[in-house]
Amino acid sequence: MTKRARLILETAFALAIGTLAGCGYATRGLYSPDIETVSVPIFQSTGFRRDVEIQLTEKVVKAIEAQTPFKVVQSGGDTELRGKIINYFKAPFGEDGADNPRGGLMMMNLSLTWVDNRSGGVIKETTQSFTIDNNGSYVIDLGQSQATAQEKIYDEMADYVVSMMQAPW
């Protein structure tokens, strides 16, 4: 390789690195490297619907283990993710000739607190004024059911929780 070709190659490489470094790109991961384990106790629920908190907690645990480098442990983790279902609402809409619902709408509000067990400090928190809202609708005539809408809500809530656990940019 000639000196001129080498100089051009080095200059192009330096410009590429400088451009990427100046545009906000980073080589670190999305999640904090100093957190290895997370304990996720069963979320609390203020409503009267049974087992909603258990099903949502299971979805969140599976999403954390599948999408993050964190290991979920029963107790004593580096951090603890606490959740509270504030509202879980189901409403039918439309009726057929026998007064059966033709579909419905579901809504869930969730409040989260992620605590560092080593320091006792709060890592992230959603408050009453900023709850996670999600809607799921279903139309029976299209082969959908309450179960499909509920599954959609749980999946999207779990994905939101995982994205909330990302380190700030």
Please name the residues in contact with 75: beta carbons below 8 A apart, sequence gap of 6 or more: 39, 41
Q: Which two tokens stand for residue 138?
A: 């279903």
Q: Which two tokens stand for residue 108?
A: 């869930």
Distance set, CA 13 to CA 1, 6, 149 (Å): 16, 11, 51
Q: Would 105 be classed as within a structural domain?
A: yes
Number of domains in the chain: 1
d(CA 82, CA 74): 13
Nearest to 143 by CA among 107, 105, 102, 106: 102
Q: Would 8 be classed as within a structural domain?
A: no
For the chain, the distance separating the N- and C-terminal CA atoms, rounded to the nearest angstrom, is 40
Q: Would 104 be classed as within a structural domain?
A: yes
Give the model confidence (pLDDT) of 7-45 as tens digits.
Answer: 777 787 766 666 665 555 556 678 888 999 999 999 999
| Model confidence, pTM | 0.74
Give residue 54's pLDDT: 94
Q: Would 129 be classed as within a structural domain?
A: yes
Q: Would 43 be classed as within a structural domain?
A: yes
Distance set, CA 19 to CA 28, 128, 142 (Å): 17, 41, 51
Q: Would 25 be classed as within a structural domain?
A: no
d(CA 45, CA 8): 64
Q: Would 137 be classed as within a structural domain?
A: yes
Nearest to 141 by CA among 109, 95, 79, 107: 95
Domain that holds residue 70: 31-164
Q: Which parts of 19-166 are beta strand (E)?
A: 37-39, 44-45, 71-73, 79-95, 101-116, 122-125, 132-139
d(CA 88, CA 56): 12
Give the model confidence (pLDDT) of 70-95 as tens digits.
Answer: 999 998 999 999 999 888 887 777 77
Q: Would 23 be classed as within a structural domain?
A: no
- Looking up residue 140, the CATH number of its domain turns out to be 3.30.160.150
Count of all residues that appear for the chain in the document: 169
Which DSSP symbol is given to 83?
A: E
Q: Which two tokens stand for residue 63?
A: 């999403």
Give the model confidence (pLDDT) of 105-124 as tens digits.
Answer: 788 888 999 999 999 899 88
